[in-house]
Amino acid sequence: MRNYDNSRKLFKRASRVIPGGVNSPVRAFRAVGGNPLFIERAKGSRIFDADGNSYIDYVLSWGPMILGHANPVVLAALKKALAKGTSYGAPTALEIELAELVLKIYPSMDKVRMVNSGTEATMSAIRVARGFTGRDKIIKFEGCYHGHADGLLVKAGSGAATFGVPDSPGVPESYARNTVTLPFNDIPALKKTIEKQWREIACVIIEPVVGNIGCVLPRPGYLEALRKLTKAHGIVLIFDEVMTGFRVAFGGAQARYGIKPDMTCLGKVIGGGLPVGAYGGRKEIMSMVSPEGPVYQAGTLSGNPLAMTAGITTIKELSKAGAYRDLEKKASQLERGLKDAAKRAGVRTRFYRAGSMFCTYFAGAEIVDYQTAKSADATLFARFFTAMLQRGVNIAPSQFEAGFMSLAHSEKDIEQTVASAYDVLKKL
């Protein structure tokens, strides 16, 4: 048995000064039992906790560490940038360079604005869409998490799904009234709502692959129908690719599925492990953003030179020949191994993957939306999580979160993960 004494002490200390002892709810391990790990350092495919335990990491800071932890190229670039200062509150050439890289890879965007988080990106994109259309209502989808802005905490995923509180106290009823929530992958419901309410709907915001109730893939034709309906009724289509951007493909889900949204939100990977978000879109929409237009949005730390440096360096590394072929090979190997382990152990699971993000559900039925995701056995998952942690494999502490592959994971890491999974599953 692994020793977690130092993590327990730190959690007890943190609980006295931080709500729930953590700065983001799902870190608290409440969905899986026990106390959270407190991490001291990370390198490559591994994290190391306060008790000196090592783990193969498939959380990867919830996605951004696509090159692996403490990538030497990124660290070297950050060291140079750090020597020049940490924040200027003024424009830099770095902001332009990252923006140009992003626009080249995501041609649906003509202009992009840097912010500090995914929440800022989605919140700002919706405000711009409302300003552009002159309409108030938005459509989102059950289980899609777009950050913790008030109007988006309605039937949300991520921690909200994990803790069973999809509607948060503190959100005014007037905000919720302007948020229309629909089931994911349901074309008739989408068509009926848009055709009835389109004059009031400013935008539709969606995770094209839902990453905050695990990993739910769009059914064939679903995103195409969404694009057709929004375009026909002058509704701004926003792809929240904070999680899927650079993960499901180099050009995100929009490249993978061949859909061109009006606006895109990015984050995670483009910060290379530092806090960054971004939103962009068609020129006529983005011209609404202050100071070019009347829709106000600002941020003292937006375009932070360290974050821009980490993002530029990460994207350049991902641009190298063979990077995505390598990621696909590793993720595919893990998928085959985990599916085979479950089959040999006689445990019913559903494994879904889009590029280098994935999820295993303890369920027999197909997972296509929030309701079917909720039917998965979270109790069985909690037992699986705890046993895997004891064997040195770190997966997200919730049935409703995605896992991630990095370029730093080795074949040995994957083999150890699969062997551990089989050992755990046969005992479940």
- Residue numbers annotated as active site: 145, 240, 268
Q: Are 361 and 214 in contact (CB under 8 A)?
A: yes
Q: Which residues pair with 112 in a beta bridge?
A: 280
| Distances 250 to 106, 235, 325 between C-alpha atoms, Å | 9, 27, 11
In 3D space, the residue among 390, 387, 397, 419 whose CA is nearest the CA of residue 58 turns out to be 397
Q: Are 384 and 396 in contact (CB under 8 A)?
A: no
Q: Which residues pair with 360 in a beta bridge?
A: 351
CB within 8 A of 300, min separation 6: which ones? 87, 89
Phi, psi of 199, rounded to the nearest 5 degrees: -65, -20
Q: 123, exposed or middle or buried, with CB in 10 Å at 0-12, 13-18, 19+?
A: buried
Residues in the chain: 428
* End-to-end CA, the chain: 18
